[in-house]
Amino acid sequence: KAKSDGRGLTRIFSDELASAAETRRELQADLEEAWRLRQFRLVYQPIYEADSRRLAGFEALLRWTHPTRGEVRPDQFIPVAEETGLIARLGAWVLETACTDAMQWPDSLFVSVNLSPVQFRDGAVEAQVYRALKRSGLPHHRLELEITESTLLQKEVETQAILADFRRSEISIALDDFGTGYSSLRYLIDFQIDRIKVDRYFVEGLADKSSSQAIIQAILALASTLGLKCTAEGVETEEQAEMLGAGGCTHLQGYLLGRPLQPEQARALAHAARHRLEAS
Ligand code: C2E
Ligand code: MG
Ligand code: MG
Ligand code: MG
């Protein structure tokens, strides 16, 4: 299509493509280097109970500070780490670091860790999860694993067995970005899911899009019927928080309630929240 638009545009188009490919190649090499030089770290975004607004736990989010590019977003580098295979080592490190950090919080709080479909595909995920729990000493029920619908699409029988095993071990499973993937309601029944995370896209449209309102209402009704917990992502306004709480959403996460925090800040918040509770 670009060709029919004339030479100028074609050249711009292919230059852009070439530079995208180049950026990707650079990222691949830089990621290996980053792993060697330990340029990765985790930040923790608080998750609150919707009705009481009590702190319930934190989601661990990966950060990479590149020496010249600065902060590289996980949406950009995780797909590359999945291609190169680095995700296996990186994913294991995330699990162990998150479980170890969570040991510093009051034991009523959970930690939620994002898992890549590739960690399931290569069969390493079970060993990684149990090793992280064992090395950190974190009780199983304090760990939640966030998977996406694309994880459920691949190696269905094997994945179902792994998730059932996690469930038997009291590890929780959350279905992340719910509503944006190849959602099939069958997943909620066939796979042992504890929680749905409503994607930020729907939360964003809550105030002025009736379609988003209808979808959120349907998701919340479904979650409640199936006895699933539900976290809304990307809550930025009090209006959104109120609509979600009224609709039966159990947990809220977003800039309104808190940005992702450095581990020390998360730890301080976790302990401050406990003291507030004890005082009340
Ligand atoms: P996610 O798991 O859906 O994480 C939520 C994303 O929304 C995070 O982006 C978070 O910073 C952002 N967010 C939270 N509240 C708000 C809000 O109120 N407004 C807006 N605009 N954004 C909000 P982040 O940290 O850039 O991560 C992006 C994605 O990268 C994550 O989406 C997750 O899919 C992936 N990711 C992050 N850490 C890891 C990891 O350790 N392993 C794997 N496999 N994936 C990860
Ligand atoms: Mg997540
Ligand atoms: Mg999400
Ligand atoms: Mg997301």
Pick the closest to residue 266 from 254, 255, 275, 258 (CA basis). Answer: 258
Closest CA to ligand 1's atom 27: 74
Is the interface score ipTM higher than 0.95?
yes
Predicted confidence at residue 142, as pLDDT, reads 98
Predicted confidence at residue 277, as pLDDT, reads 65
For residue 92 and ligand 1, the question of a CB distance below 6 A is answered with no
For residue 255 and ligand 1, the question of a CB distance below 6 A is answered with yes
Reply yes or no on whether the pLDDT at 124 is more than 50: yes
CA of 19 to the centre of ligand 3 (A): 29
pTM above 0.90, yes or no: yes
Is residue 39 within 8 Å of 64, Cβ to Cβ?
yes
Give CA–CA dist 236/243, Å, rounded: 12
CA of 184 to the centre of ligand 3 (A): 17
Strand partners, 146: 114, 174
Is residue 109 within 8 Å of 75, Cβ to Cβ?
no
Report the nearest atom of ligand 1 relative to the CA of 235: 18
Predicted confidence at residue 187, as pLDDT, reads 83
Reply yes or no on whether the pLDDT at 275 is more than 80: no
pLDDT in tens, 179-232: 887 767 888 888 889 999 999 999 999 988 888 899 899 999 999 999 999 999
Please write down the long-range contacts of 157-162, taking CB distance under 8 Å and 24 or more positions apart.
158/120, 158/123, 159/120, 159/191, 160/190, 160/191, 162/120, 162/125, 162/126
More confident residue, 13 or 182: 182
Pick the closest to residue 69 from 114, 34, 18, 21 (CA basis). Answer: 34
Predicted confidence at residue 1, as pLDDT, reads 38
Mean pLDDT, residues 264-268 taken together: 98
Reply yes or no on whether the pLDDT at 25 is more than 90: no
Give CA–CA dist 81/116, Å, rounded: 10
pLDDT in tens, 87-114: 999 999 999 999 999 999 999 999 999 9
Pick the closest to residue 105 from 140, 172, 168, 57 (CA basis). Answer: 57
Strand residue runs (E) in 97-148: 110-114, 143-147
Distances in Å between the alpha carbon of 64 and those of 16, 88, 99, 111? Answer: 24, 16, 19, 20
CA of 147 to the centre of ligand 3 (A): 9
The mean pLDDT of the chain is 91
Give CA–CA dist 29/38, Å, rounded: 14
pLDDT in tens, 217-262: 999 999 999 999 999 999 999 999 999 999 999 999 999 999 999 9
Strand partners, 173: 145
Report the nearest atom of ligand 1 relative to the CA of 253: 15
Closest CA to ligand 1's atom 7: 234
